[in-house]
Chain A
Protein backbone atom coordinates (compact mmCIF):
# COMPACT_ATOMS: atom_id res chain seq x y z
CA UNK A 1 0.00 0.00 0.00
CA UNK A 2 1.28 3.47 -0.75
CA UNK A 3 0.45 6.67 1.12
CA UNK A 4 -1.94 7.80 -1.64
CA UNK A 5 -4.02 4.63 -1.12
CA UNK A 6 -4.20 5.47 2.58
CA UNK A 7 -5.24 9.08 1.94
CA UNK A 8 -8.01 7.98 -0.41
CA UNK A 9 -9.31 5.12 1.72
CA UNK A 10 -9.43 7.06 4.99
CA UNK A 11 -10.25 10.45 3.43
CA UNK A 12 -7.29 12.11 5.10
CA UNK A 13 -6.42 15.78 4.98
CA UNK A 14 -3.05 16.32 3.28
CA UNK A 15 -1.04 19.00 5.08
CA UNK A 16 2.09 18.64 2.99
CA UNK A 17 4.11 16.20 0.90
CA UNK A 18 1.13 14.97 -1.12
CA UNK A 19 3.29 14.92 -4.24
CA UNK A 20 5.32 12.03 -2.76
CA UNK A 21 2.30 10.03 -1.63
CA UNK A 22 2.16 7.67 -4.58
CA UNK A 23 5.80 6.68 -4.47
CA UNK A 24 6.03 6.21 -0.68
CA UNK A 25 5.11 2.70 0.48
CA UNK A 26 3.62 1.93 3.89
CA UNK A 27 4.82 -1.31 5.43
CA UNK A 28 3.43 -0.97 8.96
CA UNK A 29 2.22 1.44 11.59
CA UNK A 30 3.26 2.94 14.90
CA UNK A 31 1.34 4.98 17.50
CA UNK A 32 3.08 7.20 20.04
CA UNK A 33 3.65 10.74 21.26
CA UNK A 34 6.86 10.36 23.25
CA UNK A 35 9.44 11.21 20.64
CA UNK A 36 12.38 9.26 22.04
CA UNK A 37 10.18 6.22 22.32
CA UNK A 38 9.00 6.59 18.73
CA UNK A 39 12.53 7.18 17.47
CA UNK A 40 13.64 3.99 19.13
CA UNK A 41 10.73 1.75 18.17
CA UNK A 42 9.13 2.97 14.92
CA UNK A 43 10.32 1.21 11.81
CA UNK A 44 11.21 2.52 8.40
CA UNK A 45 8.06 2.70 6.27
CA UNK A 46 5.65 2.90 9.20
CA UNK A 47 2.65 5.20 9.17
CA UNK A 48 3.21 7.13 12.42
CA UNK A 49 0.05 8.16 14.28
CA UNK A 50 0.52 10.96 16.80
CA UNK A 51 -0.92 14.15 18.25
CA UNK A 52 2.56 15.69 18.42
CA UNK A 53 2.74 18.32 15.67
CA UNK A 54 5.89 20.27 16.46
CA UNK A 55 9.19 20.68 14.69
CA UNK A 56 10.79 17.87 16.67
CA UNK A 57 8.16 15.43 15.40
CA UNK A 58 9.40 16.14 11.90
CA UNK A 59 12.97 15.53 13.05
CA UNK A 60 11.95 12.16 14.44
CA UNK A 61 10.02 11.28 11.26
CA UNK A 62 13.12 12.00 9.18
CA UNK A 63 15.48 10.07 11.44
CA UNK A 64 13.19 7.07 11.75
CA UNK A 65 12.36 7.18 8.01
CA UNK A 66 8.64 6.69 8.58
CA UNK A 67 6.40 6.77 5.51
CA UNK A 68 4.27 9.60 6.85
CA UNK A 69 3.06 11.43 9.94
CA UNK A 70 -0.67 10.99 10.53
CA UNK A 71 -1.99 13.54 13.03
CA UNK A 72 -4.93 12.12 14.90
CA UNK A 73 -7.98 13.88 16.36
CA UNK A 74 -7.29 17.01 14.31
CA UNK A 75 -4.10 17.74 16.27
CA UNK A 76 -2.38 21.01 15.42
CA UNK A 77 0.69 21.19 13.21
CA UNK A 78 2.65 24.37 13.86
CA UNK A 79 4.33 26.64 11.30
CA UNK A 80 7.92 25.72 12.17
CA UNK A 81 7.00 22.09 11.78
CA UNK A 82 5.41 22.74 8.40
CA UNK A 83 8.51 24.54 7.15
CA UNK A 84 10.76 21.71 8.34
CA UNK A 85 8.46 19.06 6.84
CA UNK A 86 8.48 20.76 3.44
CA UNK A 87 12.24 21.14 3.56
CA UNK A 88 12.67 17.42 4.25
CA UNK A 89 9.92 16.10 1.94
CA UNK A 90 7.97 14.62 4.85
CA UNK A 91 4.35 13.66 4.16
CA UNK A 92 2.01 14.97 6.86
CA UNK A 93 -1.65 13.92 7.01
CA UNK A 94 -4.50 14.56 9.41
CA UNK A 95 -7.75 12.98 10.50
CA UNK A 96 -10.49 13.79 13.00
CA UNK A 97 -10.51 10.14 14.16
CA UNK A 98 -8.53 8.90 17.14
CA UNK A 99 -5.43 6.69 17.00
CA UNK A 100 -7.31 3.53 18.01
CA UNK A 101 -9.90 3.86 15.25
CA UNK A 102 -7.34 4.78 12.60
CA UNK A 103 -5.00 1.96 13.62
CA UNK A 104 -7.79 -0.58 13.30
CA UNK A 105 -8.63 0.70 9.83
CA UNK A 106 -4.99 0.79 8.69
CA UNK A 107 -4.29 -2.69 10.05
CA UNK A 108 -7.06 -4.08 7.82
CA UNK A 109 -5.44 -2.50 4.78
CA UNK A 110 -1.91 -3.79 5.36
Chain B
Protein backbone atom coordinates (compact mmCIF):
# COMPACT_ATOMS: atom_id res chain seq x y z
CA UNK B 1 0.00 0.00 0.00
CA UNK B 2 1.89 3.04 -1.20
CA UNK B 3 -0.66 5.76 -0.54
CA UNK B 4 -3.50 6.44 1.85
CA UNK B 5 -6.90 4.82 1.31
CA UNK B 6 -9.79 7.22 1.85
CA UNK B 7 -13.32 6.09 2.60
CA UNK B 8 -16.55 7.97 3.24
CA UNK B 9 -19.81 6.77 4.78
CA UNK B 10 -23.13 8.45 5.47
CA UNK B 11 -24.83 7.18 8.61
CA UNK B 12 -28.62 7.16 8.47
CA UNK B 13 -29.96 8.62 11.68
CA UNK B 14 -33.31 6.90 11.50
CA UNK B 15 -32.39 3.30 10.90
CA UNK B 16 -31.00 1.53 13.92
CA UNK B 17 -30.72 -1.72 12.03
CA UNK B 18 -28.15 -0.26 9.66
CA UNK B 19 -25.83 1.03 12.36
CA UNK B 20 -22.70 -1.05 12.16
CA UNK B 21 -22.47 -1.03 8.38
CA UNK B 22 -19.57 1.41 8.24
CA UNK B 23 -17.61 -0.36 10.97
CA UNK B 24 -18.21 -3.69 9.22
CA UNK B 25 -16.92 -2.32 5.92
CA UNK B 26 -13.92 -0.65 7.54
CA UNK B 27 -13.10 -3.91 9.31
CA UNK B 28 -13.21 -5.78 6.00
CA UNK B 29 -11.00 -3.20 4.26
CA UNK B 30 -8.43 -3.38 7.07
CA UNK B 31 -8.43 -7.18 6.87
CA UNK B 32 -7.97 -7.07 3.12
CA UNK B 33 -4.89 -4.87 3.37
CA UNK B 34 -3.38 -6.90 6.21
CA UNK B 35 -3.74 -4.46 9.12
CA UNK B 36 -2.76 -6.16 12.44
CA UNK B 37 -5.71 -8.12 13.96
CA UNK B 38 -5.70 -6.31 17.32
CA UNK B 39 -5.76 -2.91 15.64
CA UNK B 40 -8.63 -4.11 13.43
CA UNK B 41 -10.67 -5.23 16.44
CA UNK B 42 -9.98 -1.98 18.28
CA UNK B 43 -10.96 0.07 15.24
CA UNK B 44 -14.14 -1.92 14.61
CA UNK B 45 -15.34 -1.56 18.20
CA UNK B 46 -14.53 2.16 18.40
CA UNK B 47 -16.25 2.93 15.10
CA UNK B 48 -19.29 0.78 15.91
CA UNK B 49 -19.80 2.63 19.18
CA UNK B 50 -19.38 5.94 17.41
CA UNK B 51 -21.88 4.92 14.71
CA UNK B 52 -24.41 3.95 17.36
CA UNK B 53 -23.88 7.34 19.01
CA UNK B 54 -24.55 9.09 15.71
CA UNK B 55 -27.86 7.25 15.42
CA UNK B 56 -28.93 7.59 19.08
CA UNK B 57 -27.93 11.17 19.72
CA UNK B 58 -27.28 13.08 16.54
CA UNK B 59 -29.79 12.00 13.89
CA UNK B 60 -27.01 10.53 11.79
CA UNK B 61 -23.82 11.95 10.38
CA UNK B 62 -20.78 11.29 8.24
CA UNK B 63 -17.68 9.19 8.66
CA UNK B 64 -14.42 9.91 6.84
CA UNK B 65 -11.60 7.44 7.06
CA UNK B 66 -7.95 7.58 6.08
CA UNK B 67 -5.89 4.43 6.19
CA UNK B 68 -2.11 4.33 5.82
CA UNK B 69 0.28 1.47 6.61
CA UNK B 70 1.01 3.10 9.98
CA UNK B 71 -2.43 4.15 11.23
CA UNK B 72 -6.14 4.62 10.61
CA UNK B 73 -7.78 7.98 11.26
CA UNK B 74 -11.54 8.28 11.54
CA UNK B 75 -13.41 11.59 11.57
CA UNK B 76 -17.08 11.43 12.61
CA UNK B 77 -19.09 14.56 11.95
CA UNK B 78 -22.65 15.26 13.00
CA UNK B 79 -25.02 18.21 13.23
CA UNK B 80 -26.76 16.98 16.36
CA UNK B 81 -27.31 18.78 19.65
CA UNK B 82 -23.68 18.64 20.79
CA UNK B 83 -22.43 17.17 24.05
CA UNK B 84 -23.29 19.32 27.04
CA UNK B 85 -20.64 17.99 29.39
CA UNK B 86 -17.91 15.96 27.71
CA UNK B 87 -16.23 15.05 30.99
CA UNK B 88 -19.47 13.59 32.33
CA UNK B 89 -20.21 11.81 29.06
CA UNK B 90 -16.79 10.15 29.24
CA UNK B 91 -17.65 8.51 32.57
CA UNK B 92 -18.58 4.83 32.45
CA UNK B 93 -22.27 4.38 33.19
CA UNK B 94 -23.35 7.93 32.38
CA UNK B 95 -25.99 7.93 29.65
CA UNK B 96 -28.61 10.23 28.20
CA UNK B 97 -30.00 7.57 25.85
CA UNK B 98 -33.80 7.24 25.76
CA UNK B 99 -35.63 4.18 27.08
CA UNK B 100 -36.33 2.67 23.66
CA UNK B 101 -32.60 2.64 22.93
CA UNK B 102 -31.86 0.98 26.26
CA UNK B 103 -34.41 -1.70 25.43
CA UNK B 104 -32.24 -2.62 22.44
CA UNK B 105 -29.25 -3.18 24.69
CA UNK B 106 -27.56 0.19 24.23
CA UNK B 107 -27.38 3.25 26.42
CA UNK B 108 -25.31 1.59 29.13
CA UNK B 109 -23.05 4.61 29.31
CA UNK B 110 -20.16 2.67 27.81
CA UNK B 111 -20.03 4.20 24.35
CA UNK B 112 -17.55 7.04 24.76
CA UNK B 113 -15.48 5.18 27.40
CA UNK B 114 -15.20 2.24 24.97
CA UNK B 115 -14.19 4.53 22.13
CA UNK B 116 -11.46 6.03 24.31
CA UNK B 117 -10.33 2.61 25.47
CA UNK B 118 -9.97 1.25 21.95
CA UNK B 119 -8.45 4.33 20.28
CA UNK B 120 -4.89 5.52 20.61
CA UNK B 121 -5.97 9.12 20.15
CA UNK B 122 -9.41 10.64 20.61
CA UNK B 123 -10.43 14.24 20.16
CA UNK B 124 -13.92 15.72 20.56
CA UNK B 125 -14.90 19.14 19.24
CA UNK B 126 -18.46 19.86 20.22
CA UNK B 127 -20.71 22.88 20.26
CA UNK B 128 -24.20 22.93 21.72
CA UNK B 129 -26.83 23.26 19.04
CA UNK B 130 -24.25 22.89 16.25
CA UNK B 131 -22.90 19.38 16.47
CA UNK B 132 -19.86 17.30 17.20
CA UNK B 133 -16.71 16.28 15.37
CA UNK B 134 -14.87 13.33 16.84
CA UNK B 135 -11.44 12.35 15.53
CA UNK B 136 -9.97 8.94 16.33
CA UNK B 137 -6.59 7.51 15.51
CA UNK B 138 -5.52 3.91 15.88
CA UNK B 139 -1.99 2.82 15.08
CA UNK B 140 -1.08 -0.42 13.33
CA UNK B 141 0.55 -2.49 16.06
Complex-state Cα separation, A56 to B76, whole angstroms = 20
Q: Which of A18-26, A28-36, A66-74 binds B?
A: A28-36
Q: A56 contacts B41, CB within 8 Å? A: no
Query: Chain B residues with Cβ under 8 A from A33's Cβ?
Result: 105
Q: A39 contacts B49, CB within 8 Å? A: yes
Q: Which of A3-11, A57-65, A92-100, A102-110 binds B?
A: A57-65
Complex-state Cα separation, A37 to B114, whole angstroms = 9
Contact partner of A56 (CB less than 8 A), chosen from B19, B44, B108, B111, is: B19
Q: B108 contacts A37, CB within 8 Å? A: yes
Q: B105 contacts A54, CB within 8 Å? A: yes
Contact partner of A40 (CB less than 8 A), chosen from B17, B52, B105, B114, is: B114
Q: B114 contacts A56, CB within 8 Å? A: no
Q: B104 contacts A63, CB within 8 Å? A: no
Known contacts A35-B106, A36-B106, A36-B111: A80-B17 contact under CB 8 Å: yes
Please tell me the number of chain B residues within 8 Å of chain A, measured between CB atoms: 21
Shortest A35–chain B CB gap in Å is 4
Contacts across chains A and B counted by CB atoms under 8 Å: 61
Please tell me the number of chain A residues within 8 Å of chain B, measured between CB atoms: 21
Shortest B98–chain A CB gap in Å is 15
Complex-state Cα separation, A57 to B45, whole angstroms = 13
Q: Could you give 22 example pairs across A and B, Cβ below 8 Å?
A: A33-B105, A34-B108, A35-B104, A35-B105, A36-B49, A36-B52, A36-B111, A36-B114, A37-B110, A39-B49, A44-B41, A55-B16, A56-B17, A56-B52, A56-B105, A57-B105, A59-B19, A59-B20, A59-B24, A59-B48, A62-B24, A63-B27
Shortest B43–chain A CB gap in Å is 10
